[in-house]
Amino acid sequence: MKFKPFFSVVAAVALLASCGADSTQNMTYPETRTVDVVDTLWGTAVADPYRWLEDDRDPEVMAWVANQAETATSFLHSLPGRDELRQRCEELFNHPRVGIPRRIGEKVFLTRNNGLQNQSVIFVQDQDGAEERVFLDPNMLSKDGTVTASLSGASPDGRYVVEVRNAAGSDWQEMRVLDLTTGESTDEVLEWVKFSGASWVQDGFYYSRYPAPEGSAFSAENTFHSVYFHKVGTPQEQDQLVFRNDNEPNRYHFAGATEDGRYVVLNTSTGTDGNALHVMDREADNPVWSPLVVGFKNHSSLVEHVEGKLYVLTDIGAPRYRLVAADPASPSDQSLWRDILPESGDLLESVSVVGGQLWATYLHNASHRVLRCDLDGSNPREVALPSDVGSVGGFGGKMDAKDLHYAFTSFTQPTSIYKLDIASGTSTLWSQPEVAFDPSAFEAKQIWFSSKDGTQVPMFVVHQKGLELDGTNPTLLYAYGGFNISLTPSFSASNIAFLERGGVYAMANLRGGGEFGEAWHKAGMLLDKQNVFDDFFAAGDHLVTEGYTSHDKLGVAGGSNGGLLVGAIMTQRPDFARVALPAVGVMDMLRYHKFTIGWGWIPEYGCADSTRADFENLLGYSPVHNLNEGVTYPSTMVTTADHDDRVVPAHSFKFAARLQAAHAGDRPIILRVETNAGHGAGKPIGKILDEQADKWAFVLNELSALRP
């Protein structure tokens, strides 16, 4: 079924014009006191007048946050068109959707959402095609829908599965063991779990946790990430400590078993970049950890134990990654490694072993393509995807599977599920949501531009067909640029509300990301971080040069590391954009490593306490430290959440306070603080709809205020 666009072009222009009436006004902000705190780093005095905002338990901070939130809510809810946008977003989100099915023994598990449920419900079929029944409904776990629940690892005999719960968006998790026949809990609760999976071997599973935090659970530093083994039917205090490094508190440790349960791999990293691998043969007379990959300069992961070999995905000797077979008897002897899938011109993003085949997902110019091969890497065949521009997920399953499921999405195609018969290689559409918009009314394309140093950088641009390139189109430029993370095409129901009002959505694949392999990543990290900002500037300038928009019609957005990006852009070129949306951003680059797991980002950013070069580099672009008095900055909506324990809200608090004090002119600077929410994952639909309505109302009003 096709739908007519909710707004015609004429109506969109009319809305844009009307939105501009009172979009700029003299703002009165809550009073923010300053303190006389000065740190001396490498002989340089650095003032930190808003240090007091770092204490999330201080009643004064709580009162300040409440006043800021009230100011933001009052402003946002008074914006023309905000209620209509909220209604339209609800219409776009209100459609049934289903997740990728998962087999556990004979049973099939899948998630369904009727459209506006806060959390998707987990259903079970006793066998493929059988009647569905509710297995776990997370909506019953909290009144406001802020508790999420998902299924992690399952026992090899298909008797148990691990349920993982997160509350209020926090990264802290609780694990429970559920009986797959009855759905009932065994009453085992594992606490203080963070950044962990559940990998089963026989009657228990490996998982990772921290000691109970001292101080605030949402801002205190997390150290001594350790691996435990939990045996079903026993309390957590009896769990076996598998690995803990008392000499290196700031490291991550994860353990996972191969499908046959013979080998367990220990993955160790100093942060978010590079890792070491050790492997244990559980069938050996004296099982010990043997090195597989040493050091932290490369990225490697154990894919599976295949025909007596350990298959490893690695960038060692291959910046765009390769799949190698290692000898379990001498796993670290790279002279014995044999290429199964050698490095190619595209990024080898992931490999799975399902149904006796290899399924290799590649990135070609930031879009996915998938090859299936025999187990030795021979006989490659490309999986026919719905489009050359899009993203996939799934391709998981057991070695003896007869079929598998995968998801495909693009800027104009909502996430759809396909079922692939392994014997024939044929894919059939299994589930496709019907969203209340006409995809044929929009187009998406990829364009390339030159950055400051001549590097060619790609960018996706999405808009209504027939767009006039007259430089007046409201445009939102989004990017991330860090941590080896790739941005690929995906559908956003919220973006449709902007696009159908004449907006242009652009997504740039900046250096620092992973779209083109490790060399692309390294070109935007540590002392080369400025390349990321230069790429972003070049993206916006290109949109202006090509007539998509003007700098007075440009909005910029990013979250987390992308929030840092937006903050740096604002300070380096305040007139680059008219609107800025820094979300849950890392804004204090001199102190980020002192909170929760911030130390894990040191391999990406460097550390001001470690070297003078790092200090000078970080101070040079740290958003909090580069806001200047009397400068007119973009209209800015800083967003964070009270339970964000990944990028603690103090970053946004300090940035917003400093920006409100330094900013000249009448453009609004507001701090939107979501309650009972975290870094973004698991947010209830109701909160998402409110957030998106606020965002687009803010963007459209501020950009349309300058319409000729």
Instruction: List active site positions.
Output: 560, 679
Name, in order, each residue with C-beta under 8 angstroms of 596's C-beta and a sequence gap of 6 or more.
Answer: 171, 218, 219, 220, 221, 222, 645, 646, 648
Measured distance CA(420)–CA(370) in Å, rounded: 12
Element (H, E) at 63: helix 59-77
**Residue 691 backbone phi and psi in degrees, to 5:** -65, -45
Q: How many CB atoms lie within 10 A of CB 277?
A: 25
Query: Strand order in 357-364's β-sheet?
Result: 347-354, 357-364, 367-373, 381-382
Name, in order, each residue with C-beta under 8 angstroms of 428's C-beta and a sequence gap of 6 or more.
Answer: 418, 419, 420, 421
Measured distance CA(679)–CA(16) in Å, rounded: 31
What is the residue whose two structure tokens read 């078993």? 257
Q: Work out whether the CA dihedral 312, 313, 316, 322 comes out positive or negative.
A: positive
Burial (CB count within 10 angstroms: exposed 0-12, middle 13-18, buried 19+), residue 9: middle
Among candidate residues 299, 307, 302, 252, the one with its CA nearest the CA of residue 280: 302
**CA 181 to centroid of chain Cα atoms:** 34
Pairing relationship of beta strands 669-674 and 635-641 according to DSSP bridges: parallel
**Residue 654 backbone phi and psi in degrees, to 5:** -65, -40
Measured distance CA(702)–CA(699) in Å, rounded: 5
- DSSP string of 372-388, one letter each residue: EE-TTS-S-EE---S-S
Query: Angle 336-277-356 (CA atoms, 0-180°, nearest 5)?
Result: 65
Measured distance CA(73)–CA(83) in Å, rounded: 13
Measured distance CA(17)–CA(23) in Å, rounded: 11
Among candidate residues 596, 610, 583, 459, the one with its CA nearest the CA of residue 526: 610
User: What secondary structure, in 3-state letters, does 298-334 show?
Assistant: CCEEEEEEECCEEEEEECCCCCCCEEEEECCCCCCCH
Is residue 271 helix, strand or coil?
coil
Measured distance CA(185)–CA(166) in Å, rounded: 17
Provide the CB-side half-sphere exposure for 671 (13 A, CA). 29
Element (H, E) at 522: helix 518-522
Biggest CA–CA distance in the chain, Å, is 79
Q: Which amino acid, one-letter code, is at 579? A: V
**Residue 450 backbone phi and psi in degrees, to 5:** -95, 130
What is the residue whose two structure tokens read 């946002």? 76
Measured distance CA(82)–CA(694) in Å, rounded: 7
Radius of gyration (C-alpha) of the chain in whole angstroms: 25
Among candidate residues 336, 288, 348, 277, the one with its CA nearest the CA of residue 308: 336
What is the residue whose two structure tokens read 């900002």? 533
- For residue 97, what are the CA distances in angstroms to 116, 408, 414, 546? 10, 13, 10, 38
What is the residue whose two structure tokens read 């998981």? 396
Q: How many CB atoms lie within 10 A of CB 73?
A: 15
Helices within 554-684 (DSSP H only): 561-572, 602-605, 612-621, 650-662
Measured distance CA(443)–CA(549) in Å, rounded: 17
